[in-house]
């Protein structure tokens, strides 16, 4: 079984064409292979990753408050800690997670 992360992308805009201002819209989906394993392992991985991400989000919010309000940490400490928390929140960037049958070749 393979765990896939799906991220929907939508881009739109305008440009000056031959007939005046024209618009465009493009939609797509990025697919990322996250992990391979048994279904139970993948489900547990997602649950654990989401719990870790929630905790990291709370810590990042507190860290942002600390640097904005009382400057109790240096910018270097902030960058190091915030990058650590952002990495732990990576699972949250996907719109959908999908477990499919197959193997990575």
Q: How much is the pLDDT for 77?
A: 84
Angle at 54 between CA 64 and CA 63, to 5 degrees: 15
- The order of strands in the sheet holding 2-17 is 20-36, 2-17, 96-100
Q: pLDDT under 50 in the chain at which residues? A: none
C-alpha to C-alpha distances, 70 to 8, 60, 62, 73, 74, nearest whole angstrom: 38, 15, 12, 8, 11
Q: How much is the pLDDT for 97?
A: 94
Instruction: Judge if pTM exceeds 0.75.
Output: no
Q: How much is the pLDDT for 27?
A: 87
Q: How much is the pLDDT for 2?
A: 94
Q: How much is the pLDDT for 102?
A: 82
C-alpha to C-alpha distances, 95 to 29, 104, 105, nearest whole angstrom: 10, 22, 25
């Amino acid at each position: 079984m393979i765990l896939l992360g799906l991220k929907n992308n939508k881009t739109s805009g305008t440009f000056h064409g031959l007939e005046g201002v024209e618009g465009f819209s493009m939609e797509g989906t990025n697919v990322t292979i996250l992990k391979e394993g048994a279904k139970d392992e993948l489900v547990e991985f997602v649950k654990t990753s989401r719990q870790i991400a929630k905790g990291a989000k709370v810590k990042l919010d507190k860290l942002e408050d600390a640097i904005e309000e009382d400057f109790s940490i240096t910018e270097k400490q902030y960058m190091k800690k915030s990058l650590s928390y952002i990495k732990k929140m990576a699972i949250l960037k996907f719109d959908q997670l999908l477990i499919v049958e197959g193997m990575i070749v």
